[in-house]
């Protein structure tokens, strides 16, 4: 990778006008206003969003297992580098260290970001890629990765009592339906923010 590395912040995940085509991961330069939107799949969006929201599943998902496996054998990811943009596809590399030497592994960018969040390592790209793909976004990026279906899901949750929401959350976690669980938890948090009920001590430990 060239020496003109640009440190990136992981800003969040949103969904575009056509959610069936994927989700949008937004990263931005730490010293500047340019953002890079990266289209990713639903599974990768879930892996990133769960980590951003500090939502711990009862059993480890694939990226969590990779993290635990690497830690068990003394392997660290030192940094993630988005090194190439070709045909609208971003290519990344993982700089790993096993205690003796550094090893570079190729990775899909979505997987690389999911792992960077777990290893808490920095993410970089180049000025060339930033010039090609960087844009200035005015809208705030919300960390949401499950689009509502014509408002039906949101309306359904808003009509539920807190006890019903709590039961639905536990049920979703038991079924490993983390997308639904995240929606329910968002509704619970929103009610707490709005002061509808004091529930901060009643959330299940997930």
3-state secondary structure 3-51: CCEEEEEEEEEEECCCHHHCEEEEEEECCCCEEEEEEECHHHHHHHHHH
pLDDT, residue 153, reads: 43
pTM of the entire structure? 0.67
Contacts made by residues 57-63, CB under 8 angstroms, sequence distance 24+ = 57/173, 57/176, 57/178, 57/206, 58/173, 58/174, 58/176, 58/206, 59/176, 63/111, 63/114, 63/115, 63/118
- Per-residue pLDDT tens for 105-148? 999 999 999 999 999 999 999 999 999 999 886 654 444 444 44
pLDDT, residue 203, reads: 38
Q: What is the DSSP string of the chain?
A: --S-EEEEEEEEEEE-S-GGG-EEEEEEESSSSEEEEEEE-HHHHHHHHHHHTT---SS--HHHHHHHHHHHTT-EEEEEEEEEEETTEEEEEEEEE-SS-EEEEEEEHHHHHHHHHHHT--EEEEHHHHHHH-EE--SPPP---S--STTHHHHHHHTS-HHHHHHHHHHHHHTT-HHHHHHHHHHHHHHHHHTS---TTTS---
Q: Is the pLDDT of residue 201 over 70?
A: no
Closest by CA position to 14, among listed 147, 115, 107: 147
The HSE-up count of residue 76 (CA atoms within 13 Å, CB side) is: 10
pLDDT, residue 180, reads: 79
- Give the class (CATH, top level) of 5-136: alpha beta
Split at pLDDT 50, 70, 90, the class of 183 is confident
- Per-residue pLDDT tens for 144-175? 444 444 444 444 566 677 778 888 888 888 88
Which has the minimum average pLDDT: 57-66, 100-109, 174-183? Answer: 174-183
User: Which backbone phi and psi does 65 adopt, to 5 degrees?
Assistant: -65, -40
Q: Is the pLDDT of residue 181 over 90?
A: no
List 26's β-bridge partners, or say none.
12, 37
Q: Computed from CA positions of residues 111, 30, 127, 87, in that sequence, does the dihedral angle turn out positive or negative?
A: positive
Q: Is the pLDDT of residue 197 over 70?
A: no
The domain limits of the chain are 5-136, 152-194
């Amino acid at each position: 990778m060239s020496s003109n590395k640009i440190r990136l912040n992981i800003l969040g995940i949103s969904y575009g006008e056509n959610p069936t085509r994927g989700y949008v991961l937004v990263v931005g330069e730490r010293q500047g206003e340019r953002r890079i939107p990266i289209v990713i799949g639903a599974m990768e969006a879930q892996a990133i969003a769960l980590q951003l929201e500090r939502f711990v599943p009862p059993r480890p998902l694939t990226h969590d297992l990779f993290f635990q496996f690497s830690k068990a054998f003394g392997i660290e990811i030192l940094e993630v580098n988005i090194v190439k943009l070709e045909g609208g596809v971003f290519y990344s590399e993982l700089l790993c260290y096993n205690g003796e030497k550094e090893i570079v592994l190729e990775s899909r960018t979505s997987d690389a970001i999911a792992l960077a969040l777990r290893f808490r390592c920095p993410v970089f790209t180049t000025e060339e890629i930033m010039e090609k793909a960087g844009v200035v976004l005015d809208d705030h990026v919300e960390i949401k990765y499950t689009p509502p279906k014509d408002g039906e899901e949101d309306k359904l949750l808003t009509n539920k009592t807190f006890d019903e929401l709590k039961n639905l959350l536990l049920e979703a976690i038991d079924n490993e339906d983390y997308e639904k669980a995240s929606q329910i938890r968002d509704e619970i948090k929103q009610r707490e923010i709005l002061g509808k009920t004091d529930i901060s001590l009643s959330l299940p430990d997930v």
